[in-house]
Amino acid sequence: MNPVATWRRLLAEFAGTALLVTAVVGSGIMATQLSPGNVGLQLLENSTATAFALGALILTFGPVSGAHFNPVVSAADWWLGRRHGTGLTAGDLAGYTVAQILGAISGSILANAMFDLAPVSISTTTRSGAHLWLGEVVATTGLLLLIFSLVRSGRASVAPAAVGAYIGAAYWFTSSTSFANPAVTIGRMFSDTFAGIAPASVPAYVGAQVVGLLVGLGLIAALYPHAGIAADAVVVPHANSDPAAEPARSSA
């Protein structure tokens, strides 16, 4: 179990998710300013900034909370670890989810404010259609498979680079540009900019992400049946992140 105080972990999830959405929305705004009329270049700029920011944020907050930044990842961690006494508890899951959603909303507000826009501007960008929902299922499933395969095989230390790379790539190979995160989806609703999503489109996106969660859990159970044993290492190992929990070292 994570030895770090609960309030510190929740703060890390709030701040990390907020900064992630700030990076997503802020880079989208900057992209439209730097490359007006060129949607392909805008997406390249947006995806590159997001991938690098995500990797950096996992490195920053991973030792405290695991750097989930995503209710789907947290839910999978709880579900797979519950039989082994590892990973998040049900109470942790509820706290992480609330912190992530509030952080995502705050991130959009911060990005809007940094670019001298109205702090809250509800998006009018409609993202609807079965092909987009399928894209979200694929993106979410792939994200979970990546994370839990790294954890189960003892390679969680490379998660910052691997997860950042996956999300950056999934911007391009999924029709939905890979939201793959209910909290981020909700947060992006609060910015009427390049990265925004209209409120009416949010429920279907979140529903597709939940389907991706279920598909991902099924595949993880089939491919890595003992993944729950290592649930404490999702996304980044943090068992010894609290100095008070570490044994004293001799100065000799």
**Is the pLDDT assigned to residue 1 strictly greater than 80?**
no
- 30 or 241, which is more confident: 30
Residue range 87-135, pLDDT digits in tens: 899 999 999 999 999 999 999 999 999 999 999 999 999 999 999 999 9
- Which pLDDT band, with edges at 50, 70 and 90, does 232 fall under? confident
- Residue 181's pLDDT is 98
**Is the pLDDT assigned to residue 237 strictly greater than 80?**
no
CB 1 within 8 A of CB 232: yes
Residue range 131-162, pLDDT digits in tens: 999 999 999 999 999 999 999 888 989 999 99
- Residue 228's pLDDT is 82
Tokens, residue 84: 């082994």
| Residue 115 in domain | yes
| Residue 250 in domain | no
**pTM of the entire predicted model:** 0.92
**Is the pLDDT assigned to residue 37 strictly greater than 80?**
yes
**Is the pLDDT assigned to residue 16 strictly greater than 50?**
yes
**Is the pLDDT assigned to residue 245 strictly greater than 60?**
no
| Residue 91 in domain | yes
Q: What mean pLDDT value characterizes the chain? A: 92
Residues 129-164 as b/e (b if ≥16 CB within 10 A, e otherwise) read eeebbbbbbbbbbbbbbbbbbbbbeeebeebbebbb
Query: Could you list the residue range(s) of the whole structural domain that residue 198 is in?
Result: 6-238
Cα–Cα distance for residue pair 140/161, rounded to 1 Å: 17
Q: Which secondary-structure segment (H or E) carries 46?
A: helix 39-65
| Residue 247 in domain | no
| Residue 99 in domain | yes
pLDDT > 70: percent of the chain: 93
**Is the pLDDT assigned to residue 29 strictly greater than 50?**
yes
| Residue 251 in domain | no
- Residue 48's pLDDT is 98
| Residue 95 in domain | yes
In this structure, what CATH number is given to the domain that contains residue 229?
Answer: 1.20.1080.10
- 61 or 83, which is more confident: 61
Number of domains the chain is built from: 1
| Residue 246 in domain | no
- Residue 2's pLDDT is 65
Q: Which secondary-structure segment (H or E) carries 45?
A: helix 39-65
Q: Which secondary-structure segment (H or E) carries 53?
A: helix 39-65
Residue range 151-210, pLDDT digits in tens: 988 898 999 999 999 999 999 999 999 999 999 999 999 999 999 999 999 999 999 999
